[in-house]
Every structure is written in structure tokens, then in C-alpha cells.
Amino acid sequence: MQKIENDLFIRACKKQEIERTPIWMMRQAGRYLPEYRAVRKKSDFITMCKTPELAAEVTIQPVDLVGVDAAILFSDILVIPDAMGMNLEMHEGRGPVFPKPIRNEADANELKDIDPMTDLKYVMDSIKVTKEQLNNRVPLIGFAGSPWTLLTYMVEGSGSKNFAEVKKLIYNNPALAHKILDKLADTVAAYLSSKIESGVNAVQIFDTWGGNLSQDAFAEFSLNYIEKIVSKIKRTEEPVIVFAKGVHHSLDKIANCGADVVGLDWTMDLAKVRKQIGNKVALQGNLDPTILLSDKANIEKEAAKVLASYGKGSGHIFNLGHGILPNVPPANAKSLIDFVKVESKKYH
């Protein structure tokens, strides 16, 4: 790995001694930044994902504008099913849509085997352009959705309130669900390996919908496949982060899945979780994202609580408990970051 100027994030992932807590924010390359919206105005979301220069531009924006300690490559978890032949569409106000969701064996058989290096070449190109322009100022994170979260979108066909279709699939035809999940696990592992080969310095697996499963179902239909991915990723020193939202019940298991870092949503007690699994993994999180809609004084008060809750020593990456909201004033995001950079020194 080339020497990165500010490598606090990487060192925190490895629980090495650091001088202050690093911070980045999920969805930090996003709509809350006017500079992002200016790019988005000229080009739709999917084109931005598929055009390396645009992806690189918005990826780097938060590094320059709010001062995060890591960049995360602008992309979408659904580029994988898109490359497998599902034709991702983005509908304004409705979000991602797959025109032909997967509902049976025949649909599943149409999913193409892909080689991420060629079939998702635009992602690898985006990494190269971003790395060049980032010039090793901060590490670059690459991400993917967990197989369960991908399956949810692929079966529902769009955002869902009750997850009725994908739940019907796992209860009525678990064999088919496992077949698709296994294929997705292999694909995600290859995809993240390719991202690392192309230059990212860490990877994060998002299991956005794991919290909709019961504990048994989470173990069987989600965690199993996250474990498979983590074991198969080709990496040397690049950390792996697993963030499963709402999965309060399975943190021990997640900490044992081979990941270096476990991400936490804002309902978790950082101090308690550190006692529980902090000897095995670093922890990332977990400020309630809505606090950034408040004012500087409140943001600082709540951020101080998060830092104090983790306490002294390395192994904490400050983040929100979920993605930054589109209506957050950029100045508030900057307040948070400035504050964490100073306040966290006392814990190191």
C-alpha cells in the first residue's frame, strides 16, 4: 500500500494506537452537499455511478468540504444485480426499481455469472481515477451490500414496507433463496476483491435489511453469507467492516465472522458493546443521524456522549448510526467533524 498521509482510519480499524478518533459518515458523498447536487443536476444517479470522473468528483467532495478522515467510493449496492442482468432503474421519489424482480427458479436462472473486473469495469476505473485525484490524502473505502440486502431488493423489485415477497421466498422456498444468496456471496466476494485489487484501502459490507429478520433467520439467510464473503475476500492488510442495521441480537456472531470492524446503529450502547465484543473488533458508529438536523451545541453534546461512551483507547471509528440525511446543513456536518477531531484527543 502506498503511504497514506492521514491513515488514522486504517489504524483505528486495526486497533492501533492513534492520536485522535477518525471520523467519516455513511452517505457522506450525497445530497446534503450543494456541490453534489450541482453534479447530480447535470447527470442522473446511475450515470454518476457509471462515469468514473463523476464518481471520483463526488467521492472526494466531502474530504475537501467537511474534512472526513476517509473517502468512500460513490456507488450503489445495486450495481451488482444490475450487472447480473436486472437493469437497475432509479425512479424519482420512489428510489431504485428492478423492472423484473426475481420470484421463481426461472427468474433466478437468468442471473448472469459476472466477472467484476470486466462486468463492473466502471467501478474499478472509478477507483483508479479517485485514487489518483485523492493523491493518498486519506484512505478510500469500497462497499457492497450483503447478499440478504441485495436479495431483498432483487425480490421486492423496489423499496418495501413489509418485505412480504422476500419473506415468502425464504419461508416457502428456502432452497431457492439459499441458491441465490450463495451466488450473491461469491459475486460480492469477487467484487470486493477486485475493488481491493483496484486500489481501495478498506471495504464495508452493508446489511441494511438484516434487522427485518428474526434471530434464527438472520443467522441462516444473512450472516452465513457475510461470513462466506469475509472468508473469501482477497486482501493483504485492508480491513473489512460489517454494518448490519438493527441486528442488536447477533453482535457476538458478527464479531466472530472475520471482520475487523463492526458498525453500530444509534440504538446500541457503545460502552456495553465494547465490553461485549471490543476485544475482538473495532467499533464504528453511532450518532443518531437526525442530530445533525439540530444545532452546533446539541451536535457537540451528543457527539461528546458517543466519544465518552466508547471511552479511552483505540478501536473506535466515529460515524453516524446510519446514512447522513439529505436535508442536513453542511455546516452542521462540518461542526461534528471539527468537534470530534479535537474532543477525541482526550481519549488517546
By annotation, the residues acting in catalysis are 27, 31, 40, 76, 153
SS3 content of the chain, % helix, strand, coil (to 5): 55, 10, 35
Closest approach of Cβ 74 to its own copies, in Å? 21
Q: Does 136 bind its own copies (CB under 8 A)?
A: no
Candidate list 44, 91, 118, 171; residue touching its own copies; CB under 8 A: 171
CB atoms within 10 A of CB 262: 24
Q: DSSP assignment, residue 75?
A: -
Question: Which CA distances in Å does 114 have to 152, 216, 229, 315, 334?
Answer: 20, 30, 16, 36, 40
Candidate list 295, 311, 331, 342; residue touching its own copies; CB under 8 A: 295
Closest approach of Cβ 327 to its own copies, in Å? 6
Q: DSSP assignment, residue 113?
A: P
Residue number, 131 or 167, with CB nearest to its own copies: 167
Q: Does the CA dihedral 325-157-200-13 come out positive or negative? A: positive
Q: Does 92 bind its own copies (CB under 8 A)?
A: no
Closest approach of Cβ 235 to its own copies, in Å? 31
Positions in 313-342 near its own copies (CB under 8 A): 321, 325, 327
Residue number, 117 or 217, with CB nearest to its own copies: 217
- At 76 the three-state DSSP class reads coil
Residue number, 65 or 217, with CB nearest to its own copies: 217
Residue number, 248 or 334, with CB nearest to its own copies: 248
Helix axes 330-343, 52-65, angle to 10 degrees: 60
Residue number, 168 or 312, with CB nearest to its own copies: 168
Closest approach of Cβ 290 to its own copies, in Å? 4
Query: Half-sphere exposure of 70 toward its Cβ, with a 13 Å CA cutoff?
Result: 31
Distance CA 175, CA 140 (A): 37
Residue number, 136 or 309, with CB nearest to its own copies: 309
Across 46-201, where does the E strand assignment appear?
71-72, 89-91, 95-97, 140-145
Start-to-end CA distance of the chain, whole Å, equals: 26
Closest approach of Cβ 122 to its own copies, in Å? 30
CB atoms within 10 A of CB 172: 9
Asked if residue 12 lies in contact with residue 20, where contact means CB atoms within 8 angstroms, the answer is: no
Q: Does 308 bind its own copies (CB under 8 A)?
A: no
Q: Does 252 bind its own copies (CB under 8 A)?
A: no
Distance CA 139, CA 144 (A): 17
Q: Does 249 bind its own copies (CB under 8 A)?
A: yes
Q: DSSP assignment, residue 137?
A: S
Q: DSSP assignment, residue 49?
A: H
Residue number, 202 or 255, with CB nearest to its own copies: 255
Q: Does 288 bind its own copies (CB under 8 A)?
A: yes
Q: Does 105 bind its own copies (CB under 8 A)?
A: no
Q: DSSP assignment, residue 242?
A: E
Candidate list 211, 253, 338, 348; residue touching its own copies; CB under 8 A: 211
Closest approach of Cβ 174 to its own copies, in Å? 9
Q: Does 157 bind its own copies (CB under 8 A)?
A: no
Q: Does 216 bind its own copies (CB under 8 A)?
A: yes
Q: Does 234 bind its own copies (CB under 8 A)?
A: no
Helix (H) or strand (E) holding 299: helix 296-310
Interacting residue ranges for its own copies, rule: CB under 8 A: 162-164, 167-168, 171-172, 211, 213-217, 246, 248-249, 266-269, 288-291, 293-295, 298, 302, 305, 321, 325, 327
